[in-house]
């Protein structure tokens, strides 16, 4: 039986230990159990102070996220925290690991907070489309002032114990491994000093905030408008923190509760909670059991020091794993290493890394020109240009060089991994590791499983992804894998609509309004039209633009014209070209208007492609498709990904609308069997009957 909360008494100090693996989420049973233990301790005349401590790897990581959207179970957070705060005996939180969300809010309701040196605290609710709903927005401003509170709560960042101490969020730091004893000693000291019971609620917010600047809230919203765009939670957080300033504590709490209850019922929060669990689920491969052997990756080889190879290398350096980086010429390797150094130096300038750290990381690279230097690497990643012949040749050589038991990976973004694996005598050791550009920044890693890839190789890749800060999504072998396959139909529809006479800025605006950082044509211009260079036998607008030197933003002209500040404006030349190309291809004007119609046109084919990817068994589950879209090409996180979004619209409606569109625009709108089947059953993607 799992012990949820149990008490022990040592010399007048009651120690309540919470034990709800894996992260001590404050579920209803845990709340009930803690409430009971607290009531007993407070009623026990032998108890002079109470310490709340957690078993396992962390203090409470927050409310149990799986409970949101269900009927609330007693006791409420408010009831529990009121008991703590109003307790006639001092209550002390002893924090290790991460005290997050409702967990940190519990600590804030305690009279004192003792933290282990490596502990972190934070209010990450914003990442779930929520605000701290258990007093965090009212107590934090009272401890640190409104401005710091706005930063902490809207960023959701984890604050190291040292910073938390200097901010006044915790009272003392103690050595790791000695938390229990230190917290007991702290409690004894408090008792000896006369059982003082300071409460965050009694602090004056105005003692920290400059009274003359009531505009801090509107200033803060304006300054962060870009970052908050489209998200509902930041505005609600600002309103709640403002309530901490404007209203008495209890009224502020009531305002916070009302805002929380509103947010938790929004589709945005449902989407962001879906993404939270989907990211974690993605690492699981059903036929690769948890006890599959994980290979030890202590050294990595990367072939190709271009943009991709360099970015890939940085991931391993950041994780402290040495990399042997191999190129064809001295010039190429020197350039690649210099770019890596420049990237790190830029991070130093932003104050996010020290000069010593740069040297440490650069010291982990062994640059060279000889593939033979990869003989000892535990994992080799090939990141040369996309040519099957070149890759097969490299894998053939690697096969002769790499030690037995080394994983041989390709960073191909669309080639047939099985053909690459066949160039070796050990296809079971070959896997795809498809990084997204910039590879040191983008969190998605598509792990491509070939027909022969061995289970330990898959399991190792999934584990390694986490070690280097990536979210792995398993993909089968197909042209474009998951993320790129999803992106293609959106582009095809954007271009079709352009030729039918829909203004490109209307198409882009619809995507930006939906939540993408930029529209299709803006993205093409940013990447560079010459770089995208599609093979086409037909006359295309892009081909014509390239032919007349309009290569995109870098030339000040592409689909759009750009001024010195890179602001796009409509181009007469492009409009003319569009009309011209449409006329030669016999496309009649038929502009689409209205955001809903534009989005149906642009995004339903993406939903359909996602369904095909599932149907073909390329992705393991619907939520993996969502993660690939969100992390691979910035599908707005608050939409939950294409398939979650489709569920929210209703698959029945999507199928009906697609059939209409199919009549007008053809095959791209023919709903795939899986989509039709689910719609007929009234089910959504990933939903069991």
Q: Is 525 helix (H, G, I), strand (E, B) or coil?
A: helix
315, 440 contact by CB (below 8 A): yes
572-584 and 483-499 helices, crossing angle to 10°: 90
| Least distance (Å) between residue 640 CB and ligand 3H9 | 16
| Least distance (Å) between residue 273 CB and ligand 3H9 | 9
Closer CB to ligand 3H9, residue 98 or residue 411? 98
| Least distance (Å) between residue 76 CB and ligand 3H9 | 8
Bridge partner list, 433: 447
Closer CB to ligand 3H9, residue 253 or residue 551? 253
Measured between alpha carbons, how far is 355 from 599 in angstroms, rounded to an integer?
47
Helix H or strand E encompassing 444:
strand 444-448
Closer CB to ligand 3H9, residue 77 or residue 559? 77
Measured between alpha carbons, how far is 112 from 230 in angstroms, rounded to an integer?
38
Residue of 37, 48, 85, 105 with catalytic role: 105
Per the listing, tokens 């009309």 go with: 579
| Least distance (Å) between residue 155 CB and ligand 3H9 | 13
Based on the residue annotation, tell me whether 105 is a catalytic residue of this protein: yes
Q: Cα torsion for 583, 587, 588, 593, to the nearest 10°?
A: -120
Please name the residue ranges forming H helices in 423-519: 455-467, 483-499, 504-514
User: What are the contacts of 256-262 at 24+ separation with CB within 8 A?
Assistant: 256/131, 256/132, 256/133, 256/135, 256/136, 256/137, 256/138, 257/78, 257/133, 259/131, 259/133, 260/130, 260/131, 260/132, 260/133, 261/133, 262/236
| Least distance (Å) between residue 256 CB and ligand 3H9 | 9
Measured between alpha carbons, how far is 664 from 139 in angstroms, rounded to an integer?
58
| Residue 173 C-beta-side C-alpha neighbours within 13 Å | 17
| Least distance (Å) between residue 68 CB and ligand 3H9 | 8
Q: Measuring CA to CA, how many Å separate 561 from each of 28, 262, 518, 553, 569?
A: 58, 43, 16, 8, 5
Measured between alpha carbons, how far is 622 from 94 in angstroms, rounded to an integer?
40
Residue of 125, 279, 544, 657 with catalytic role: 125
222, 234 contact by CB (below 8 A): no
Measured between alpha carbons, how far is 313 from 325 in angstroms, rounded to an integer?
8
| Least distance (Å) between residue 462 CB and ligand 3H9 | 13
| Least distance (Å) between residue 38 CB and ligand 3H9 | 18
| Least distance (Å) between residue 112 CB and ligand 3H9 | 21
| Least distance (Å) between residue 516 CB and ligand 3H9 | 25
Closer CB to ligand 3H9, residue 62 or residue 640? 62
- The footprint of ligand 3H9 (CB under 6 A) covers 22-23, 25, 58, 61-66, 77, 98, 100-102, 105, 124-125, 128, 130, 132-134, 136, 277, 280
Based on the residue annotation, tell me whether 495 is a catalytic residue of this protein: no
| Least distance (Å) between residue 199 CB and ligand 3H9 | 19
Q: Measuring CA to CA, how many Å separate 341 from each of 119, 198, 247, 564?
A: 31, 50, 51, 29
Q: φ and ψ at 89, to 5 degrees? A: -120, 150
622, 685 contact by CB (below 8 A): yes
| Least distance (Å) between residue 158 CB and ligand 3H9 | 7
Strands (E), 386-440: 407-410, 430-435
Measured between alpha carbons, how far is 41 from 57 in angstroms, rounded to an integer?
25
Q: Is 561 helix (H, G, I), strand (E, B) or coil?
A: strand
Q: Is 431 helix (H, G, I), strand (E, B) or coil?
A: strand
Distance of CA 228 to the CA centre of its chain: 15
Helix H or strand E encompassing 382:
strand 379-382
Measured between alpha carbons, how far is 52 from 14 in angstroms, rounded to an integer?
9
Q: Residues for the chain: how many in total?
A: 689
Closer CB to ligand 3H9, residue 99 or residue 381? 99
∠ Cα 138 142 148 (to 5°): 95
Candidates 255, 250, 242, 12; CA nearest to 145 is 242
Bridge partner list, 407: 379
Bridge partner list, 18: 5, 54
Closer CB to ligand 3H9, residue 63 or residue 628? 63
Closer CB to ligand 3H9, residue 14 or residue 80? 80
Measured between alpha carbons, how far is 686 from 623 in angstroms, rounded to an integer?
7
Measured between alpha carbons, how far is 149 from 97 in angstroms, rounded to an integer?
21
User: Any idea which residues carry the catalytic annotation?
Assistant: 105, 125
């Amino acid at each position: 039986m799992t012990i949820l909360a149990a008490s022990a008494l040592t010399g007048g100090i009651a120690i309540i230990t919470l034990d709800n693996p894996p992260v001590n989420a404050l579920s209803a049973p845990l709340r009930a159990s803690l409430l009971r233990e607290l009531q007993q301790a407070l009623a026990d005349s032998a108890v002079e102070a109470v310490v709340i401590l957690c078993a396992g790897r962390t203090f409470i990581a927050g409310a149990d996220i799986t409970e949101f959207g269900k009927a609330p179970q007693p006791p409420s957070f408010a009831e529990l925290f009121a008991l703590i705060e109003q307790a006639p005996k001092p209550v002390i939180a002893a924090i290790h690991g991460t005290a997050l969300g409702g967990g940190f809010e519990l600590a804030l309701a305690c009279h004192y907070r003792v933290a282990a040196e490596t502990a972190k605290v934070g209010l990450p609710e914003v990442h779930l489309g929520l605000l701290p709903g258990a007093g965090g927005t009212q107590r934090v401003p009272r401890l640190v002032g409104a401005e710091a509170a706005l930063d902490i709560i809207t960023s959701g960042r984890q604050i190291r114990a040292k910073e938390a101490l200097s901010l006044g969020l915790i009272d003392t730091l103690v050595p790791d491994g000695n938390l229990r004893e230190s917290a007991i000693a702290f409690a004894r000291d408090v008792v000896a000093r006369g059982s003082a019971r300071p409460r965050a609620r009694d602090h004056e917010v105005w003692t920290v905030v400059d009274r003359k600047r009531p505009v801090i809230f509107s200033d803060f919203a304006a300054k962060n408008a870009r970052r908050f765009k489209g998200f509902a939670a930041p505005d609600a957080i600002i309103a709640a923190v403002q309530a901490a300033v404007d209203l008495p504590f209890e009224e502020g709490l009531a305002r916070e509760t009302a805002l929380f209850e509103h947010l938790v019922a929004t589709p945005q929060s449902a989407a962001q909670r879906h993404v939270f669990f989907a990211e974690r689920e993605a690492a699981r491969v059903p036929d690769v059991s948890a006890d599959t052997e994980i290979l030890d990756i202590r050294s990595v080889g990367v072939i190709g020091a271009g943009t991709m190879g360099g970015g890939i290398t940085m991931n391993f350096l950041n994780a402290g794993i040495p990399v042997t980086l191999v190129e064809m010429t001295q010039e190429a390797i020197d350039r690649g290493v210099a770019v890596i150094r420049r990237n790190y130096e830029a991070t130093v300038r932003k104050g996010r890394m020290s000069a010593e750290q740069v040297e440490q990381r650069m010291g982990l690279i062994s640059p060279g020109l000889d593939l033979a230097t990869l003989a000892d690497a535990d994992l080799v990643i090939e990141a040369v240009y996309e040519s099957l012949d070149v890759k097969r040749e490299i894998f053939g050589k690697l096969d002769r060089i790499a030690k037995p038991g080394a994983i041989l990976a390709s960073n191909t973004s669309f080639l047939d991994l099985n053909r690459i694996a066949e160039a070796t005598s050990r296809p079971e050791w070959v896997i795809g590791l498809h990084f997204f550009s910039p590879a040191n920044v983008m969190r998605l890693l598509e792990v491509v499983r070939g027909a022969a890839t061995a289970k330990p190789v898959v399991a190792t890749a999934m584990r390694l992804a986490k070690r280097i800060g990536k979210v792995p999504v398993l993909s089968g072998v197909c042209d474009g894998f998951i993320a790129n396959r999803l992106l293609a139909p959106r582009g095809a529809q954007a271009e079709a609509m352009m030729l039918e006479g829909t203004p490109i800025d209307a198409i882009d605006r619809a995507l930006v309004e939906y939540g993408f950082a930029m529209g299709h044509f803006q993205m093409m211009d940013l990447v560079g039209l010459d770089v995208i260079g599609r093979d086409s036998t037909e006359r295309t607008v892009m081909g014509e633009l390239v032919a007349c030197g309009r290569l995109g933003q870098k030339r000040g002209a592409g689909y759009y014209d750009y001024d010195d500040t890179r602001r796009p404006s409509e181009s007469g030349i492009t409009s003319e070209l569009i009309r011209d190309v449409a006329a030669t291809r016999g496309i009649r004007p038929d502009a689409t208007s209205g955001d809903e119609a534009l989005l149906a046109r642009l995004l339903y084919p993406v939903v359909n492609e996602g369904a095909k990817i599932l149907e073909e068994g390329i992705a393991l589950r619907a939520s993996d498709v969502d993660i690939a879209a969100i992390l691979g090409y910035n599908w707005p996180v608050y939409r939950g990904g294409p398939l979650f979004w489709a569920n929210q619209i209703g698959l029945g409606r999507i199928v009906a609308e697609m059939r209409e569109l199919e009549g007008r625009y053809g095959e791209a709108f023919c709903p795939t069997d899986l989509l039709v089947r689910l719609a007929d059953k009234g089910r959504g993607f990933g939903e069991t009957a």
